Amino acid sequence: MSLPLSELPPDTDAKVITLDVGQEYRRRMVGLGLRPGAAIRVIRRSLLQGPLQVRVGHTDLILRRSDAARILVEPMVQIGCVRADATRSEAAPS
């Protein structure tokens, strides 16, 4: 069960499934370790629909939510509670 990275709640381990971004952006992502199969987690979200801080391996990256929406990830934990979390943490970023 996969969902966009932009909706992955903070502190949930997930795996990158697909990167649906342009050639240039994809190259940058892969160069920084953000590639299909990589383990990823959201560390925090910025206010006002600002960027996400994500951790891929030992690297912390920031990317915009609109771009994160085009990255599909699969959480490694139970889906049901993730869904509930996702709606809650939108309002209260940590």
Partner 1 sequence: MKRIALLGMPNTGKSTFFNRLTGAKARVGNWPGLTVELLSARVLLAGQMVEVVDLPGIYNLHGFSEDEQVVRRFLESQPLNLLVLILNAGQLDRQLALALQAQHLGVPMVLLLNMEDEAQRLGLRIDTAALKQALGVPVRLFSAKYGQHYREAIEAIERSLAAHPELRRADKRALEEDQHIEQALDELVQTSVHVPIRLPPTLSERIDAVLLHPWLGPPLLLLILFVLFQTVYALGSPLQDGMEGLLGEFRRSVLDPAMGGLPSGLRSFLAEGLYDGVGTVLTFMPVIALFFVALAIIEDSGYLARIAFLVDAIMQRLGLDGRAFVMQLMGFGCNVPAILGTRIMRSHGLRALTMLVIPFSLCSARLQVLLFITTAVFSPSTAPLVLLSLYVLSILLAMFTAFIWRGRYANREPFLLELPPYRLPTLRFLFYEGWRATLQFLRGAGGYIVLGVVVVWFLTHYPFDVPPAGPATLAGRLANGLAPIFSPLGLDSLQAIALLFGLVAKEVVIGALAVIYGAGPDQLPGILGQRLDAVQAMSFLLFILIYTPCVSTIAVIRKESGDWRLTLLAVTWPLLLAWLVSFTFYQVARALGY
94 is a site residue for partner 1 (CB under 8 A): yes
Q: Please say which residue, 14 or 63, places its beta carbon nearer to partner 1.
A: 63
Q: Which of 36, 44, 76, 79 binds partner 1 (CB under 8 A)?
A: 44
Choose, by CB under 8 A, the member of 61, 72, 74, 86 that binds partner 1. Answer: 61
Tokens 């771009």, residue? 67
**CB-CB contact of 53 with 44 (8 Å):** yes
Q: Which residues contact 33 (CB under 8 A, 6 or more apart)?
A: 56, 57, 59
3-state secondary structure 3-43: EEHHHCCCCCCEEEEEECCCHHHHHHHHHCCCCCCCEEEEE
Stretch that binds partner 1, among 5-13, 55-63, 74-82, 83-91 (CB under 8 A): 55-63
**Which residues of this protein are in contact with partner 1, per CB under 8 A?**
21-22, 24-25, 27-29, 31-32, 34, 44, 46-51, 53, 58-64, 67, 93-94
